[in-house]
Chain A
Amino acid sequence: MNKQQIQTCGDELYNALIQRHTVKPLTQRFNDISIEDAYHISLRMVERRVQAGAKIIGKKIGVTSKAVQTMLNVHQPDFGYLTHDMAYSQGEEMSISEKLIQPKAEGEIAFILKKDLIGPGITNADVLAATDCVIPCFEIVDSRIEDWKIKIQDTVADNASCGLFVLGDKAVCPSKVDLSTCGMVVEKNGQIISTGAGAAALGSPVNCVTWLANTLGQFGIPLKAGEVILSGSLVPLEPVKAGDFMSVSIGGIGNASVRFV
């Protein structure tokens, strides 16, 4: 794709996000769209957000679990940017009609960094040493692409389908929890709908953060101290609507919950 097309697509997705409407999949309109093109589109989209006053506070890793990869028929992770206006606190209500289009909830583990991670060459040891704490998290993914009909390029261009996120009630030092075997239980309106464990995300959430640091390192982008890194879903995505109450608990870490209005 040429520069003009990339900018137009980025603007189109930004407008879709702000006006809460969907667009036709980019992959249906641009046969030759590459994953690199898609990342450039997402950069344009996030650039527009920053121009409008948003502050980048972290990154998210997506498409990390076999369940999500199967659901989306893709076989590699992706990443997007987190801005300050995406972050919700425990107990805050999330308004679907004001903020979201076709949301789905994912239970995740969020990493809060205390040191920069600059790839390539980052190992899991570097990630653990650079992690201040891990926090239970719901990421509310959302797609600006019609009916979630996404290929990997569509979701990458659309900021990895990031919507909003809520951080839970407890921060735990990564040395206190086995991130690969820690269990996750997700409840919707009081009913257990799925369980999982840390290994669902590329074998371990730590592997995901390592992947991100090394992938971004190729583009000269660091993971910075203080950033929030959402490490990827450990359970299947769950569609949500106004009135739903979602709760997630993670063994050895804690809980997060969110009510949709």
Chain B
Amino acid sequence: MSTRLANQGRLINTDKAVSFTFNGRHLRGFEGDTLASALLANDQMLVGRSFKYHRPRGVVASGAEEPNGLVNLGKGATFEPNQRVTTTEVFEGLTATSQNHWPSLEFDVGAINTHLSRFLPAGFYYKMFMYPRSFWKHVYEPIIRKSAGLGKAPKDRDQDTYEHFHAHVDVLIVGGGIAGLAAALAAGERGARVLLIEQTAHWGGRAVVDTPEIDGMPAQEWVNTTVQALESMKNVDLRLRCMGAGVYDHGYALAYERLTDHQPDADGPRHRLWRVRATQIVTATGAIERPLSFAANDLPGVLLASAVRDYVVNFGVSVGDRTVVVTNNDDAYRTAIALKKAGLDVPAIVDARSEVEGDLIDQARALGIRIELGKGIAKVKGGKRVTGVALCSQAGQGAVLEEIECDCVAMSGGWSPVVHLWSHCGGKLNWDADQAMFRPDPERAPTGADGEGFVITAGTANGHLFTAEAVSDGWAAGRAAAKAAGHNKRGGQAPMGLDAAEGPISPVWLMPQGASHALRSKAWLDFQNDVKVSDVQLAAQEGFESVEHAKRYTTLGMATDQGKLSNINGLAILSQSLSADIPNVGTTTFRPPYTPISMASIAGVARDALFQPIRKTPVSDWANANGADNEPVGQWRRPYAYLRPGEDVHQAVNREVKNARDNLGLLDASTLGKLIVKGPDAGRFLDMMYTNMMSTLPVGKCRYGLMCTENGFLMDDGVVARMSEDTWLCHTTTGGAERIHGHMEDWLQCEWWDWNVYVANVTEQYAQIAVVGPNARKVLRKLGGMDVSAEALPFMQWADGKIGEFDARVFRISFSGELSYEIAVPAGQGAAFWDALLEAGAEFGVMPYGTEALHIMRAEKGFIMIGDETDGTVIPQDLNLQWALSKKKEDYLGKRAHSRSHMADPNRWKLVGLLTEDGSVLPDGAYAIADGKNENGQGNTQGRVTSTYYSPTLEKGIAMGLVHNGPDRMGEVIEFNKVDGGTLRAKIVDPVFYDKEGEKQNV
């Protein structure tokens, strides 16, 4: 059984017990425990089920590489699935439940899959679910969806807060082991601004477990001394529980700091996402031990040798009473030695190598541990946990030589440097055959803006598995990084490490070498996704020779651990199956993040009201307090209609339209773009920007203008007013303000930079209110101030002055067809001006109206709307706007494009009005049906609806649409598709439905 040992464990505080629950069971651990160590201390070996076969799963590792120990953590507003038990620190009141099983962890119905496993090989889903075709939608997909996914998605809102932080440093060092610490020391001493981050809660990495000597001190003492020295440096920032998640272009890196996961009652954000810009990055990310592939290596109780050692040394937890160590290298002997020294039984070290020599072997022998050379594991015995191992000759096919009783197997297949961060932005790898590992090629580092490498790798991450090499490599990396960042101050000395002498590793990718198919189909590579040696071999046999294809076919390395344990072993099996060298097969691509980071940390503060900016006009507060039913227009929220008590939206819209036509309406038009264009060449410039002539517009007058892109399509429209000899004010659509401002600057800065024109976006300087309806003039006269008579201020003119006590610029323009004034006042006076209009307008029947009433009134008048009648494929000619295309101008944006053959084609669809025969409203976007079918067998079309409304004025549906030869087909009836499948007949008519002569607006 797994249990806590007395008086051991360097990281736990046995004076402080913490209680927590696992699947409802109350358990106790100590402060300093991880959830994994605390579960093991309570003999909770079984922690979950595998993804495909629902096999029992126990903890296999002790760090971020753990593939099995994934649990649901927390409840309600703190619930989170797929949390790794090895990286979760226990705290008082922690609640965890296991996942991926039903009805219980101990008894799981899905485990039937393991008995069907020979019918569920790699690629099973691809082969099985192809036929019959209709089964996919109705049978396969619903079932697969139900069983897909790991853990449950949270249901409640997350109660915690999250934030980002932008840090700019000379040197970012990822990894707080001895190499990272040495790098920080070297870079810090040179005066560089350093950020050193470590994903765990402790400095020192593996060295403090394996206890080599550095600078004549035990590793722990050296780590303490070094951290103290770093903390006293003002230019060095040290962060624990902060993981290097990704390395990106030009020294950008993401670091994921977990601030309160281990103390959930603490104040402040739970996670902080560091958005780092580093001149140089040192990846001292360590190495990960590889499992060995032998039959039933997935049973709970089979762990990495280093993990077994970690649990004893760090947490005083023995995974088993009797542990068999199986290895192909010397390092695993440390585990046997550590266990023996802790008073535990090690019945044998099973070493695949036939000859061994070194300090660790001598030590093991001296402790009386039996060493079996040239041997392998034929299979592990047991059901839900290990009960023993069967030994065989490594060179053979698995004939059992002997069985040994044990309750734990500690395996080591050698070490793989953590090259993820090195590789994220393009760092390349070399295969080191002597050490059987991929390691970074310093000649092919990720390159930065200067074309030089910006990532330096150090320590075991660089393939230096021994302390002396690792610590001096770290120091050299720190020094080089500081230098590359411009810090050359001399000083300090590289730390000196001392190692035990070790013999060479012998690569072992399968145990035994000639394992039968029966053994290979029980030899796991990917513990979470249930990929076995036989699956990868099958993939190779079926032609999935590219490592990227084999990965996707078998799902090897596609689990939440992204193959940290499985990839190299799987790759080696694949290369053997293909009779190719490992480096020729290559690795799959390493992609960020290193381990999953919370979605909330990516969002940071951007949630709820801060999810995105909501733009407000000076009238927005009044609107929101007075029934506004808002619609998003870009980041603005514009009232669609102002609802009165008891009204629905349609009733409100109809009331608003009628009232504006009969009495007096107010529209908050503040969101419309307002651009000042000024300079001696402003007229000439606007003549290029607009299709019509703006340079000839007299001062004091307004003109409606169209803008096209260079490829001829309509991009914006609006009223232009001439302010003075050299100044124009251009109104844009609400969505167009920033875009058209940028568009103008683009042409001024990049094409006509010798023209003297300045543009300023003054959109938000003004609140702009449209005062609309037969009573518009009356209300303005009542407020007093400037002369707004037809004589003093005729249609399509503007004037500055006072309306009441307000500084006003009044435009006689109309988008409704009614008598209309658009009045701009400084935004700071906007709310008061709105109030004044409401108050003075009361006797004239004033009502505010929203965007839907605006749309209906303009459609009744046949005015086009950018975004309704236009969609990026429509040219002015399509909308019968030839009158706005200047024939006098030699050039304007879009002019050349209008003579392209397709643009000049007489067969383009053109704007018409549409009236249904029964008065109903045409569906928005509906297509007009034409005879015959196209080459894809679809019905032909001859037009489409661009705007469609119920007109309260005409008391029936009205629509505008683009129809083939439309203007020549007045009176013809065509059919439109309805959403529910039927059709609707509509007559082609003039698009101006109301006051065609414009008598109402020009009074």
Q: Do A and B bind each other?
A: no
Taking Cβ atoms with an 8 Å cutoff, the residues of A that contact B are none
Taking Cβ atoms with an 8 Å cutoff, the residues of B that contact A are none
